[in-house]
A and B are shown apart, each in its own frame.
Chain A
């Protein structure tokens, strides 16, 4: 199996708007893929299909080589696809442990919560992964009182806890300070070191270039092009992004893109 995630000919329409048109997209094992594109290019729609939030109108999705029919959010999470939506997917009035286990509560067979275990695990995560050691923060602390950076820590740890195979970061640097951004980029490199895969979505070409193995550019609902970051300089990437914004194409000779086309053997 070459691909962790493979999406073939994905199309999605919302009323009048054709959000995605025959998109082919793939993620290899242990690969960080940067997803670039302007507002309305279809990045979010594509991601929401991967996470099971939207169902595509047509096309096929394979995960770990297995065809997935009708992907739902809970099915995607069960498969090992976790998404860090930053603060957008936290419940601010609820406790830390309820947020960590949101949608995937630890329960008995009948659905009764194992509250003690969730509190315990949260405590471990706080010390081990989130770096919360202050006595003032406990698993029962309400998430709404946390700072932006702390909330993001919660969102990230939540993705890590469930042994995700594929971690999706949806515009993770938005609203972060310089030092928080640097930590986040370190975190993405950490995903790679841990042998996992990642889809990194951002507007910022610098951030994407610095961590991605491969960059996929979407434009107006279609893949405009893709290439390995080691084959290209940051200047070239910037030039291409401008060209895409104007023409919808990466270059004259690269108009169509299949998942396997430009890159064959040189995956790390």
Chain B
């Protein structure tokens, strides 16, 4: 694949001689004024501004809360529970798919965790089997979508109910205590407090963000995720293994959901059978707030990362400002709709 051996360069040149002049005419007017870097990252800059504006508002209107470090400790301990799912979910959406089943997979993974823990008394083994079952549950989603050709939205509505049902049947609605895990290394590694203050889960969240970013932006796998979401047929024509990549993105979300389930349960040393309920909309909203296109082919990990914090900061912020919890959903709705509208306008005006 070296350039030197590539000889027909000259033949391509005359195939396309008129390009420069026409191109200059066409691109010049829109290039004026706005630097390329800003145009290309308009969505990320926009969403960062939304977070900073909200944060500034809360700092001004609720200084007692937002100048104390307790609020940040609370955010760092709870945001990772859904952010760890939102980050890989971004890949699913970029690939042009959708997954609604991850909240149930959180619960299912923990059922496996509890049972393996009970049988083996080994938290490490329980953790690994839990991750594996999450991965397999995700892979099942991928298999149904790819091999049977079901739309992923529909398929994962089905598996969402299915895994929730599995949890209900196996547990018979009985929660389980995880106090026995509390003194173990696993507990400290996953949800301990680093330096007595920083929750370990937020470090895991950053780790997941970095890993997903690297794979999405600097690995063949991620390149194929974008290509498939952009134009599945062209990816296939150019030799991309479309089916395998589509199956894998679902499997990774399943794995992440099982991991998030463990973190959320160990944090409270208790497994509630309803684990995962309430995470669906928050997680999806984070992805779309971050500027990921529902049509596929576009989206960033940075955007999702910021989106998660926007979602998480709104509720405590409003309450600290003196509004009742009844206002939360209304403001959520407003901010999410406005941000997504902003993305649509920005990508039409600038990104092109």
Residues of A with Cβ closer than 8 Å to B? Answer: 51-53, 72-74, 76-77, 83, 85, 88-94, 98, 101-107, 111-113, 115, 121, 124-125, 128-134, 136-138, 140, 142, 144-145, 147, 149-150, 153, 156-157, 160-163, 179, 183-184, 186-187, 190-191, 193-194, 196
Given contacts A85-B234, A162-B1, A183-B17, are A137 and B297 in contact (CB under 8 A)? no
**Which B residues between 27 and 73 are near A, CB-CB below 8 angstroms?**
27-28, 31, 36, 40
> Contact partner of A121 among B3, B8, B237, CB < 8 A?
B3
B220 and A113 within 8 A (CB): yes
A-B residue pairs, 5 tightest by C-beta: A190-B11, A136-B27, A103-B238, A129-B12, A73-B239
Smallest beta-carbon distance B112→chain A, Å: 30
> Contact partner of B8 among A104, A112, A132, A196, CB < 8 A?
A196
Chain B residue at smallest Cβ distance from A110: B219
A187 and B3 within 8 A (CB): no
Chain B residue at smallest Cβ distance from A146: B23
B12 and A156 within 8 A (CB): yes
Chain B residue at smallest Cβ distance from A102: B238
A sample of 25 cross-chain residue pairs with beta-carbon separation below 8 angstroms, ordered by A number, consists of A53-B237, A76-B239, A89-B237, A89-B238, A91-B227, A98-B223, A102-B227, A102-B234, A103-B235, A105-B220, A107-B219, A115-B218, A121-B3, A129-B16, A131-B19, A136-B24, A136-B27, A136-B31, A150-B22, A160-B8, A160-B11, A163-B6, A184-B15, A187-B14, A187-B15
Given contacts A74-B239, A142-B351, A194-B11, are A136 and B6 in contact (CB under 8 A)? no
Chain A residue at smallest Cβ distance from B31: A136
Is B231 engaged at the interface, CB distance under 8 Å to the other chain?
A: yes
Complex Cα distance A238/B10, Å?
Answer: 33
Smallest beta-carbon distance A179→chain B, Å: 7
Contacts of A111 in B (CB 8 A): 219-221
Contacts of B12 in A (CB 8 A): 128-130, 153, 156-157, 160, 187, 190
Given contacts A112-B219, A130-B12, A133-B20, are A147 and B26 in contact (CB under 8 A)? yes
Smallest beta-carbon distance B266→chain A, Å: 32
Task: Point out which of B15, B20, B297 has the most chain A C-beta atoms below 10 A from its C-beta.
Answer: B15
Smallest beta-carbon distance B272→chain A, Å: 40
Is B230 engaged at the interface, CB distance under 8 Å to the other chain?
A: yes
B1 and A93 within 8 A (CB): no
A-contact 0/1 string along B253-289, CB 8 Å cutoff: 0000000000000000000000000000000000000
Contacts of B351 in A (CB 8 A): 142
16 additional A-B pairs beyond A136-B27, A137-B23, beta carbons within 8 Å, are A73-B239, A85-B234, A89-B233, A90-B231, A91-B226, A94-B227, A104-B238, A111-B219, A112-B219, A113-B223, A132-B19, A133-B20, A142-B351, A153-B15, A183-B16, A193-B11
Contacts of A136 in B (CB 8 A): 23-24, 27-28, 31
B239 and A128 within 8 A (CB): no
Contacts of A103 in B (CB 8 A): 227, 235, 238-240
A77 and B239 within 8 A (CB): yes
Chain A residue at smallest Cβ distance from B347: A93
Is B348 engaged at the interface, CB distance under 8 Å to the other chain?
A: no
Given contacts A130-B16, A131-B13, A156-B12, are A140 and B238 in contact (CB under 8 A)? no
B15 and A105 within 8 A (CB): no
**Which B residues between 204 and 237 are near A, CB-CB below 8 angstroms?**
214, 218-221, 223, 226-227, 230-231, 233-237
Contacts of B20 in A (CB 8 A): 131-134
Contacts of A179 in B (CB 8 A): 18
The bracket for how many chain B residues form the interface is: 35 or more
B13 and A129 within 8 A (CB): yes
A147 and B14 within 8 A (CB): no
Smallest beta-carbon distance B152→chain A, Å: 19
Contacts of A190 in B (CB 8 A): 8, 10-12, 14-15
A92 and B236 within 8 A (CB): no
Given contacts A102-B227, A183-B17, are A88 and B233 in contact (CB under 8 A)? yes
Contacts of A144 in B (CB 8 A): 352
Is B304 engaged at the interface, CB distance under 8 Å to the other chain?
A: no
Complex Cα distance A150/B352, Å?
Answer: 16
Complex Cα distance A153/B239, Å?
Answer: 20
Contacts of A147 in B (CB 8 A): 22-23, 26
Smallest beta-carbon distance B95→chain A, Å: 12
B3 and A94 within 8 A (CB): no
Complex Cα distance A157/B214, Å?
Answer: 28
Is B9 engaged at the interface, CB distance under 8 Å to the other chain?
A: yes
Contacts of B10 in A (CB 8 A): 190
Contacts of B219 in A (CB 8 A): 107, 111-113
Smallest beta-carbon distance A196→chain B, Å: 7
Chain A residue at smallest Cβ distance from B231: A91
Contacts of B24 in A (CB 8 A): 134, 136
A73 and B238 within 8 A (CB): yes
